A and B are shown apart, each in its own frame.
Chain A
Amino acid sequence: AQSVTQPDIHITVSEGASLELRCNYSYGATPYLFWYVQSPGQGLQLLLKYFSGDTLVQGIKGFEAEFKRSQSSFNLRKPSVHWSDAAEYFCAVGVAGNQFYFGTGTSLTVIP
């Protein structure tokens, strides 16, 4: 069965520091992988997606993610975090039939 695990419930980083949010997935076939961000009081916005090709994908707002098949991981990174990046981040896998499975989310706090 497909599943998505985000092991970090909450992360705090200083503004300007680098960020890495972890995501592990379980899926029998080659997955479609996504990262979404949810700002307070808002719906989810797509940051980036991956299916095949270059394992390092670039997204909006300066985010990138790296797919590692051997580790079943799709970690999200940003070199320098801004205060406006404080939000909740969701990793998701897209499966056949146009369905999506989401992780439980990682809440990011940015301190000045």
Chain B
Amino acid sequence: DVKVTQSSRYLVKRTGEKVFLECVQDMDHENMFWYRQDPGLGLRLIYFSYDVKMKEKGDIPEGYSVSREKKERFSLILESASTNQTSMYLCASSPAGTSYNSPLHFGNGTRLTVT
């Protein structure tokens, strides 16, 4: 089974801190994604990556950056955390190919609170 591991289940950070959310997958997937999940808004794509050192902006990239130095690891960075970034963050991965043949595999999420 594919395993997508997010390093923290819960995080509490202060406004202005630099925050790193880490995600590791163990199935050699090419694609990795960061989503943000908020009540009533569903999942919104922040950033995704098709390969090492590649990144693409999603629908809501403002205030975030990402890093993919190794194929298995995709990090989400909040350069200066703000209270409106309090949310559940979900990492996902998928193999290369069409989205039909490459559905997403999700981690369990990191619930981030910024105070």
Contact = CB atoms under 8 A, between A and B. Distances in A.
A43 B103 contact: no
A42 B98 contact: no
Interface stretch (A12-20, A69-77, A79-87, A97-105): A97-105
Interface residues of B, number: 26
Contacts, number: 60
Interface string A1-33: 000001001000000000000000000000010
Interface string A38-51: 00011111100101
Interface string B64-86: 00000000000000000000000
Contacts of B99: 32, 94-95, 98-100
Interface of B: 4, 31, 35, 40-43, 45, 48, 50, 58, 90, 92, 94, 96-100, 102-104, 106-109
23 contacts: A6-B42, A32-B100, A43-B4, A43-B90, A43-B107, A43-B108, A44-B43, A44-B90, A49-B100, A51-B100, A90-B42, A94-B98, A95-B99, A98-B97, A98-B98, A98-B99, A99-B48, A100-B99, A100-B104, A102-B35, A104-B40, A104-B42, A105-B42
